[in-house]
């Protein structure tokens, strides 16, 4: 039997599992549109109870998929001649742990998106009842762009020096997240925002939650359209960090894609659940910075010193401890409120 620490061939090559990709995308799209249909097109603010239910639903869905991935490996890997000589149970367990680690990393990093949502919604004065609709379409767009990024990443990662480059990039990004000044993008300074306003007239009001309207024969955008465009743009920026971070956990494009999508699917509900208490997690940036530094170090150095693959269970443990420590110290050492004037 070959050494289990040697990296096996790709476990989920697209030419073999294209039908799983298709079923996964159909399953996710079906879940999203069922959610919209359940609302019957009515705009309303997501309640705290609804948000909590949705967050738990997507977390449970992701964990169920993780278990299904393990049992799929137990069933499919023994029949794959490319994997002859490998311990199929070990490969199946490694696949599910890599999914869980990638999902947890992406879920952690995507919390930063909640801060962006708050800034953008406040800037454009978007009413709470319209925010769910914007985030719904924003997630659909994010799925497309993440798929493109992951496809490109899977090709680039085959070049020998690319993992080193991405590893160093993630490590420096982690230091910037942890110790750099906190700042949030100003929508008014965004290039895409200014270009859109230049070529498409924008209404000053929301116009009943529509993205585009026709007025006096002229097509016009609304603040909802500007908000959606800005959210999509910021997600692309975040993907530059998060996609390489998951490739540091696993080299399987299928696991990168599914863990990425599952992580961003719960963002809508997470926003409504955490929007009012995000400022309490003031040590989160140190946890996220540490995680980025760790996955960067893993990609550029650690993997080479562990027969090509740093143990996934160790990675998962380090990520969980970092997040737990950030949450614990945020609770133990709350920020003191500044005394205001009279």
> pLDDT tens for residues 186-233?
666 666 667 777 788 888 777 787 888 888 788 888 888 888 888 888
Domain that holds residue 144: 14-332
Of all residues in the chain, the percent with pLDDT exceeding 90 is 15
Calculate helix-pair angle for 253-265, 48-76, nearest 10 degrees: 160
Helix/strand/coil for 310: coil
Residue pair 145/239 in contact by the 8 Å Cβ criterion: yes
Overall number of domains in the chain: 1
As a whole number of Å, the end-to-end CA separation of the chain is: 76
User: What band does 48 get if pLDDT is binned at 50, 70 and 90?
Assistant: confident
In a domain, residue 337? The reply is no
Q: How far is the C-alpha of 293 from the C-alpha of 109, rounded, in Å?
A: 13
The model's pTM is 0.81
Answer whether residue 67 is part of any domain. Answer: yes
pLDDT-derived band at 185, boundaries 50, 70, 90: low
Q: Which of 200-204, 278-282, 333-337 has the highest mean pLDDT?
A: 200-204
Is there a domain that residue 29 lies in? Answer: yes
Neighbouring CB atoms inside 10 A of 127's CB total 12
User: Please, are residues 138 and 230 in contact by the beta-carbon 8 Å criterion?
Assistant: no
Q: Is residue 207 part of a domain?
A: yes
Under the banding of pLDDT at 50, 70 and 90, the label for residue 4 is very low
d(C-alpha 262, C-alpha 147), whole Å: 13
Residue 9 lies in a domain: no
- Say which residue, 15 or 2, is predicted with more confidence: 15
The dihedrals phi and psi of 234, each to the nearest 5 degrees, come to -65, -30
Estimate to the nearest angstrom the gap between the alpha carbon of 142 and the chain centroid: 9
Q: Tell whether 301 is covered by a domain.
A: yes
Position with higher pLDDT, 319 vs 303: 319
Residue 339: inside a domain, yes or no? no
Q: Tell me how far apart the alpha carbons of residues 213 and 211 are, in angstroms, rounded to a whole number.
A: 7
**32 belongs to a structural domain:** yes
């Amino acid at each position: 039997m070959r050494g289990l620490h040697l990296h096996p061939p790709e476990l989920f090559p697209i030419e073999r599992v294209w039908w799983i990709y298709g079923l996964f995308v159909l399953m996710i799209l079906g879940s999203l549109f069922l959610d919209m249909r359940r609302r019957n097109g009515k705009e309303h603010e997501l309640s705290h109870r609804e948000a909590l239910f949705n967050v738990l639903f997507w977390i449970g869905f992701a964990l169920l998929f993780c278990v299904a991935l393990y049992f799929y490996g137990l069933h499919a890997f023994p029949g794959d001649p490319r994997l002859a000589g490998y311990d199929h149970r070990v490969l199946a367990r490694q696949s599910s742990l890599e999914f869980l680690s990638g999902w947890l990393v992406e879920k952690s990093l995507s919390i930063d998106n909640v801060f962006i949502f708050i800034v953008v919604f406040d800037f454009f004065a978007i009413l709470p009842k319209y925010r769910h609709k914007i985030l719904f379409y924003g997630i659909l767009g994010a799925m497309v762009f993440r798929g493109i990024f992951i496809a490109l990443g899977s090709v680039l990662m085959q070049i020998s020096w690319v993992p080193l480059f991405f590893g160093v990039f993630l490590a420096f990004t982690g230091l910037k997240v942890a110790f750099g000044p906190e700042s949030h993008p100003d929508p008014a300074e965004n290039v895409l925002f200014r270009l859109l306003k230049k070529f498409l007239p924008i209404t000053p009001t929301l116009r009943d939650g529509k993205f585009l309207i026709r007025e006096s024969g002229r097509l016009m955008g609304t603040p909802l359209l500007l908000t959606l465009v800005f959210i999509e743009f910021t997600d692309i920026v975040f993907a530059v960090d998060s996609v390489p971070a998951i490739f540091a956990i696993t080299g399987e494009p299928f696991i990168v894609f599914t863990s990425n999508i599952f992580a961003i699917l719960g963002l809508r509900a997470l926003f409504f659940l955490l929007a009012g208490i995000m400022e309490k997690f003031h040590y989160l940036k140190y946890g996220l910075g540490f995680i980025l530094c760790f996955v960067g170090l893993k990609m550029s150095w650690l993997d080479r010193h562990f027969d090509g693959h740093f143990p996934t269970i160790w990675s998962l443990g380090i990520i969980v401890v970092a997040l737990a420590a950030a949450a614990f110290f945020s609770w133990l050492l709350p920020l003191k409120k500044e005394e205001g004037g009279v």
